[in-house]
Amino acid sequence: MIKKCLIANRGEIALRILLTCKKMNIQTVVAYSLCDKESLAVQLADESVCIGPAAATLSYMNIDHLCEAAYLTHCDAIHPGYGFLSESAEFAKKVESCGLIFIGPSSSVLHRINQKHLLKEIVQSLSIPIIAGDFNVINSVDEALESASTLGYPLMLKPTIGGGGRGIQIINDTTQLTMELKRLKSQGFNSLYLEQYVPENRHIEVQILADKHKNIIHLSSRNCSLQNNYQKFLEEAPFSSIDPMIHRKVLDYALAIAQHINFDNVGTVEFLVDRNDRVYFMEINPRIQVEHPTTEMITKVDIVEQQILSASNVPLSFKQEDVQVHGYAIECRINAQDDRNTFLPSSGIITKVNFPKIENVRIDTALFEGYSVPMHYDSLIAKVIAWGQTREKALLNIREAVNQTFIEGISTNLGFLRFFLNYEGFEKGNYTNGLFGSANVHWQSKLSEKSQNLTYESSSLCPQCQQSLSAKQLNDHQNVCEYCGFHFRRSASKRIVDLIDSQTFVEIDSHAKSVVFNAFLGYEEKLNIAMTSTGLNEAVICGFGKLLGHTVCIGVLDASFMMGSMGHVVGDKITRLIETATAMCCPLIIVSASGGARMQEGIISLMQMAKTAAALHRFDKAGGLYISLFTDPTTGGVTASFAMLADILISEPKALIGFAGKRVIEKTIKETLPAEFQTAEYLLDHGFLDMIIDRRNLKQTINDILSIHRRQPYE
């Protein structure tokens, strides 16, 4: 039995391992980096040892330092926690070669699992469905393009080694594939492969316990479908919104895979379930999971204890039939992120912290007042887990617990979690991975309207009629003056809320951000400022949803992000939106608000006109209905390309619509233009628009148009 353990991790998981070690009378040594020397785990451990500076590569991922630390402190085992080196076959082998116990699967098992593309071939040999893909490592761009052509878009570009969603990208076309391959390789992702993308999926994982005597059981399942950029933020156990027969099949698949590869410790077998309830194997995580407390609460099994016992060559003390699942558990991850600013990481000193003490609620954290949250590591700082006899009771408990949790001194995602726990799509329970995108749009709209602290007494002056308008008046009238009808500018997220039925919007390509590929001075800084000030990754939001029951694809440009200018990512997102509408056989709506081409990208920006126009030509040939809405302002290449190429052209009143500026045109043609030139009303009179519609009537008008034009293949 292990006598003394080096904990090669930090934060809440280091403390979690430490507490179980103490329960098992195992002495503990916490390995820490310089910036973690005041951590709670260091304070509570029997001993501690510094393993290097703050950078993870020089400390928590330094294999030699960790093994030396274990030797110097006379440990007989190392627990890697999660992240860092927890899945490293090289680390496990080094630990074993030093005569130490690696608390996790053996190095031979890890080596088998680490090559995800090869593991899928093994699983396929067991007649267990896998997601279609080319599991050979990509050696060149040409090879990737050929493979993608065979598989068909959309695709997932994934690293063969690693976890946590890092490096994963959704690929919709050849241009993006080429760009992402170069970008990921520049970031150190040298081993990549392609597989088909499964839209609207659910992520189900099965907790496995195994020993070194070929005993393997499961502890039921977890629902991990809720992710932001492939990072989970809320999990449930067990997976309840699935047919019991399919659930049974998933559990059997997990056991069969684990048995075939001789799995010998704690791990998780993960699957995707598509919209037709087809199950596909995804990967194995051969370590303790962040969300393991949900399983512990429904089974009363200490999973860290089972890790240690298995590593100590102790056989499992119970069988599958002994495992009893009771009730439901929900976990919320509290991250040091600014949920008002695209969930950017936050760091600083905790000035106040309060966690509730509620029956059936568990808190896993290493926070304390005065603790300095570093910027060098993952943003997870705490987990709130609630149990209930039913899912409804667990939901009530987690809401109460999160509402009573307060952390001051840094930004956290607590505000978003409180919002999400009351979001209708989550409350119903039968959600897919698209729910975050839908909820985030409503969250951003809620923030931009400042509805949490809406001061209805505050007022704005209408620039047209000079009437004073309260915040409530503007909110009630969709930012339109109720006296003269002046249309204030409106954010993209608010426009989606205006037009798309509640709880139906699914955002696509939300992760896409511009890559600075030239030396234009200050461009990267301008992008960062735009992302910080708007909460957007780029100047357009794209997705699909229902408009009074009609399924539509919709893209909305936002003039507050670098004047809605069309750079390569804006062009890519709009092009992929058009292609999505083509594939889905549904109408397309694009709401324009732009200053034209993004001059910082030079000729690349101008190329977006041809790209979007070509996609619209293909959409038109397929019989698609395209509605373009002009808002103030719509100018430059946006006007000249996709905005003017619609079947039906609608504008809001008095919107500025044009290509070049009026002054430039007058100097070029040496004539004075009419005062109303480039207004929506002028263009309507001269046959360039079909109609001008007040924003408050827009949704019903588009509904009428869709009803009139409803025809195959749109029915």
Question: For the chain, what are the domain ranges?
Answer: 4-103, 132-196, 202-435, 489-708
Residue 337 belongs to what H/E stretch?
strand 337-338
pLDDT at 648: 97
Give 246's contacts (C-beta < 8 A, 6+ positions apart): 273, 277, 279
Strands 691-692 and 588-594: unpaired
Contact 509, 576 (CB under 8 A): yes
Rounded-to-integer distance, Cα 573 and Cα 621, Å = 20
Rounded-to-integer distance, Cα 168 and Cα 227, Å = 13
Class assignment of domain 132-196?
alpha beta
Kindly state the tokens that stand for 519.
């030396």
Peptide bond connecting 53 to the previous residue in cis, omega within 30 degrees of 0: no
Report the amino acid identity of residue 665: I
Residues 177-191 pLDDT 10s: 988 888 888 777 878
pLDDT at 83: 92
* Sign of the alpha-carbon dihedral angle for 558, 564, 569, 573: positive
Burial track 256-273 (b if 16+ CB lie within 10 A, e otherwise): ebbeebebbbbbbbbbbb
User: Which architecture, in CATH terms, is 4-103?
Assistant: 3-Layer(aba) Sandwich (3.40)
Contact 630, 652 (CB under 8 A): yes
Kindly state the tokens that stand for 532.
């910080």
DSSP 422: T
Give yes or no for residue 569 having a pLDDT over 60: yes
Rounded-to-integer distance, Cα 25 and Cα 47, Å = 14
Residues 98-137 pLDDT 10s: 999 999 999 999 999 988 778 988 999 999 999 888 877 8
pLDDT at 162: 60
Q: Which of 64-78, 464-478, 561-575 is the least confident region?
A: 464-478
| Mean pLDDT on 289-300 | 98
Residues 488-504 pLDDT 10s: 999 898 899 899 998 78
Cα atoms found within 13 Å of the Cα of residue 489, Cβ hemisphere only: 17
Rounded-to-integer distance, Cα 298 and Cα 389, Å = 9
Kindly state the tokens that stand for 200.
């609207």
Rounded-to-integer distance, Cα 541 and Cα 512, Å = 10
Judging by beta carbons within 10 Å of its beta carbon (0-12, 13-18, 19+), is residue 528 exposed, middle or buried? exposed
Residues with catalytic roles: 287
Beta strands in 238-327 (DSSP E): 267-273, 279-285
Give 62's contacts (C-beta < 8 A, 6+ positions apart): 51, 52
Give 295's contacts (C-beta < 8 A, 6+ positions apart): 207, 219, 220, 222, 237, 301, 303, 329
Rounded-to-integer distance, Cα 549 and Cα 597, Å = 35
DSSP 637: H
pLDDT at 451: 46
User: Which architecture, in CATH terms, is 202-435?
Assistant: 2-Layer Sandwich (3.30)
Q: Which of 14-23, 155-164, 395-404, 672-681 is the least confident region?
A: 155-164
Rounded-to-integer distance, Cα 684 and Cα 463, Å = 24
Whole-model pTM?
Answer: 0.68
Pick the CATH number of 489-708 from 3.30.390.50, 3.40.50.880, 3.90.226.10, 3.30.1370.60: 3.90.226.10
Report the amino acid identity of residue 260: H
Residue 227 belongs to what H/E stretch?
strand 216-228
Helix ranges restricted to H, 506-591: 523-534, 568-584
Give 28's contacts (C-beta < 8 A, 6+ positions apart): 4, 5, 7, 17, 18, 21, 22, 45, 46, 47
pLDDT at 450: 57
Residues 419-436 pLDDT 10s: 999 988 898 888 888 899
Residues 601-655 pLDDT 10s: 888 888 999 999 999 999 999 999 999 999 999 998 899 889 999 999 999 999 9
